[in-house]
Structure 1
Amino acid sequence: MATNLDPHTNFSRACRAIVDLNTDILRDELDSHVTPSDIASKANACTKLPSLRPEQWIVINNAATKGSYEDFDSSLLYIMIRNLCSLPPPKLGWNKKPLGTDLSVAADVERIRYYRNEVYGHTTRAEISDSEFRIIWLDLEKISERFDKNRPGKNYKKAKRLKDE
């Protein structure tokens, strides 16, 4: 892995992995539980679904027509996975950074949400130090490797290539 990079470059690389790679992982996870053709009816029937914005409902309703989750952002994917899929919650529960020892699918979904929020969702600066970048990147690689094992035919290991671009 390249080291001693500009903090802005580190930020950019982490964001690309989170937006491109991790969103693909979340799309595939949702698709493994609910097909795009069924998402609107399942979302409408779900009593525990949080209040969604009108534009999110448009995206949900369009999924059947498109036959994919391509227009779902990571936040909407997280909401759908958490509320429509039968995943048991991570050991510490939802909306908390998972324990490093919790390697469940739900914990990795929660890690993706955590990094999305920490890296660019709620940050005040577009920079990440080298030491912080190494920690984030290692965790993102591990998430990718676990999903690779759970999703034959998918290749989430492209995170390894992103780090040196």
Structure 2
Amino acid sequence: MIIKYYVTPQGVQRKYLKKDFYFVITDNEIVLMDKLPNIDQLTIEICFKILRSENMLDEPTCKWGSVPHDIEVDIADDVQRLINATNSILRINSAELTEKYFESLLEEIKLIVTRTDFSLQQNALGSMFNSFSRSEADTVSILQDLTRVKAIADSEFVPDIESEKRERCSRLAMAVIDTFPNVLRDIIRSNISASDLYLCCTRFIYTLNPEQQANLRQLQYSNTYSSLDVTLIYKLLRQFNLISTQGWGAVPDKANTKLADDIERIRFHRNQIAHRCDTNIDTNLFDDYFDKFQEIARRMDLIFFQKTNYEQQIIGHRTRRIDTKLQKKYENAMKEIENIQLRFEKRPIKFYWGDDFDKCVMNLRSLLKDEHLEGRHTVRVKIIFQNEEEVERNIDVVNYLKDEINKV
């Protein structure tokens, strides 16, 4: 009933068919999951896995795997009580099975049922509990059913720490890739038109790298700034002194909140994250980044007379639901930013070898060809395998391509 209320059976089925769960599903559970969206036969174990995986419930005050205090009565606390009660029944021996134990456990379940009905705005569980209390117990059948129930080890479902770090990294990437460029585009747009800016750039355009040259040339045709990223806009704002400032290049103190200061902060935070987005983002660092992002966004909304909604966008990046497909998109986008930065430096280019083998070979060849055309006749490449499938085959093919790779 909690799954129906918070997740919906159809939503569970969709994620199951897309293999979009972060937990292990046993063979017996696969049989049950294949019957989705019918969830009537789902066990307490698989229901708990789904609820934990979806993060629809807030963590109990006592944390998962502990014993809630009597005053902790949110629905997640009662889910933890159900887990504790199930494990208690499975572990208890006959000597401990006293009348007092029975009455205490029954009273606790009754309270859980009452609170859950109230939370779900129904009376179904209360009616079920009362019916159970009055019924004749089929002892043999119940004990047979009990043998099929497993103890629920909370550690089995504790979210993967590395997955949590990757998600935090992806959320930061959303701010860097989606919101920061639009902020700077609005700033430069409010100071000069795209066509006038292109005319200003013609004198020094050939001092830029080929990709930046191509992006600038789009200004004369599109008359928008959609082709410009944070790095190039910052360079242009600085080149033509479009913003009033005491000086460029320094990270401003917290007390300095002028427009130029926030431009510097955007550049600084963007570069920090692009260079270090390797999943080493703990909760404190994540919160610190987003607190700063929100302050910047709030000031930008004020500058543009509340016609923008940058603060709300940042809040969305921090809190909205993010599935594995979206997470991978932003992970790869951050890697691409890093690649672009490295491409015009002496450090090795990082090439991320993904799932599609033939596409990876094609992309690697194309990358090396582009480097050669842009004048880098000696290029160091660091190939990073993102998964452990067919490692030996991939290594064999890369070694086979060694001579071709070394030509450039």
TM range (shorter): 0.7 to 0.9
TM-fit CA distance, 1:128: 1.0
Please, which of 291, 298, 315 is the counterpart of residue 160 of structure 1? 315
Aligned residues with identical type, % of pairs: 24
Q: 1 or 2 for the larger relative contact order (CA 8 Å, sep ≥6)?
A: 1
The amino acid across from 2:317 in the alignment is L
Please, which of 46, 58, 69 is the counterpart of residue 225 of structure 2? 69
Give the whole-Å Cα distance in 2 for the aligned partners of 1:33 and 1:99: 25
State the match for 2:255 in structure 1.
101
Is the Cα contact below 8 Å between 1:30 and 1:85 reproduced in 2? no
Alignment of 1:145-156 (within 5 A): 145-152=298-305, 153-156=307-310
Give the whole-Å Cα distance in 2 for the aligned partners of 1:34 and 1:154: 19
Q: Does 1:141 align with 2:299?
A: no
1:145–1:71 CA distance, 2 compared to 1 (3 A): same
State the match for 1:113 in structure 2.
267
Alignment of 1:79-94 (within 5 A): 79-89=235-245, 93-94=247-248
Q: CA RMSD in A?
A: 2.4
Give the whole-Å Cα distance in 1 for the aligned partners of 2:168 and 2:227: 26
State the match for 2:39 in structure 1.
none
Contiguous gaps of at least 5 residues in structure 1: none
Contiguous gaps of at least 5 residues in structure 2: 1-57, 60-158, 321-408
Is the Cα contact below 8 Å between 1:88 and 1:106 reproduced in 2? yes
Give the whole-Å Cα distance in 1 for the aligned partners of 2:184 and 2:173: 15
Instruction: Give TM-score, length-normalised by structure 1.
Output: 0.86
Corresponding pairs, count: 159
Larger radius of gyration: 2
Give the whole-Å Cα distance in 2 for the aligned partners of 1:124 and 1:21: 17
Please, which of 179, 189, 195 is the counterpart of residue 37 of structure 1? 195
- Of stretches 37-46 and 26-35 in structure 1, the one that deviates more from structure 2 is 37-46
Is the Cα contact below 8 Å between 1:10 and 1:133 reproduced in 2? yes
TM-fit CA distance, 1:81: 1.5
Give the whole-Å Cα distance in 2 for the aligned partners of 1:98 and 1:115: 12
Task: Give runs of ≥4 in structure 1 deviating > 4 Å.
Answer: 2-5
Is the Cα contact below 8 Å between 2:183 and 2:300 reproduced in 1? yes
Is the Cα contact below 8 Å between 1:148 and 1:156 reproduced in 2? yes
TM-fit CA distance, 1:37: 1.2
